[in-house]
Structure 1
């Protein structure tokens, strides 16, 4: 009888321990989940913002669209009539609280310093990892700019999660290398998807 009681108590203890462990893991996963903030600048049409948001929500539902704002004053580069992407993401990062990631959306031309080129035009820029990134549709093809804009946005968000550029030519994390290869990109590759799943991203398949 004593042996049966001991076995029963041991069983209850193990069940409780497993339950608490699962609860702790679940709480850690929930704590790790961030909210993506979509921050449009005043120049970009709301319908463009809506289409990008719709695409992002399919793979990361926890997002919020903010009201449009002006560019930070120090971002404008008068000589080339551009906006400095590095200044933009620095501004956005400073405004972003812990547990959030902000992506700025614009139709203006943006640029960075790349090597010996002081002002190099780009489609996007993001911290890796970090709390902010920016995407521009200025350099995209007019025919399918909405699809390309989504790919640029999701690429920069991937950087904020910690993803580097990917050697897979079909992957959204491919390095543009100064061009626009978005028409060749079809999805995140398996390796990049697996990484993003660990960050609470959702995919129907790997």
Structure 2
């Protein structure tokens, strides 16, 4: 039997599948439903088993009043606690999010994900241009981290390191090395 994905076809027996994993798309308060629909449609082109939850409120401890933004690390920790054994959560928000990076206590980011892990977050706040397309690219990048992928040196790969800049217009797909890792995991 063949298992075909976004990447290529392989014999199902060759895959170390995670086909029982469900990606749970978790919008936070006031996130546009139309944007959720668009992102889910694109994610399903790469990984079919995807479910959308109703929007939820932010956890209180995620707010950083000093910077008027949400702590991405608190959000993914919260989502991680919601995830069951066979689930992977991606939170979506339009609010500004940040994390600690090197000497910066409150570094603004597009997204953040455990590597590897069961949760990640993506935000439209810092995105310019076509936010739907760019949000999908941030989301799939963070989902890649949850599957153990690190940043990739290939400029067109979804796993490219942004290095604090918006390079999303140049990303078009997972490179062959990143695809291979995801294929082993049943993507």
Fold shared, TM-score > 0.5 on shorter chain: yes
Give the superposition deviation at 1:95: 1.1
Give the superposition deviation at 1:115: 1.2
Q: 2:56 aligns with which of 46, 64, 69?
A: 69
Q: Deviations over 1:115-170 (max 9, x none)?
A: 111111000000000000000011111x3111111000000000000100001011
* Runs of 5+ consecutive residues of structure 2 not aligned to the other structure: 1-11
Supply the RMSD in Å over aligned alpha carbons. Answer: 1.4
Q: TM-score, normalised by structure 1?
A: 0.82
Distance in 1, Cα, partners of 2:90 & 2:154: 24
Distance in 2, Cα, partners of 1:33 & 1:98: 10
Q: TM-score, normalised by structure 2?
A: 0.90
Q: 2:24 aligns with which of 30, 37, 59?
A: 37
Which structure 1 residue ranges, 4+ long, deviate > 3 Å from structure 2? 28-33
- What number of residue pairs does the alignment pair up? 175
* Runs of 5+ consecutive residues of structure 1 not aligned to the other structure: 1-24, 202-206
CA separation of 1:187 and 1:81: change in aligned 2, threshold 3 A: same
More strand, by proportion:
2
Q: 1:166 aligns with which of 136, 152, 170?
A: 152
CA separation of 1:156 and 1:31: change in aligned 2, threshold 3 A: closer
Find the counterpart in structure 1 of residue 43 from structure 2. 56
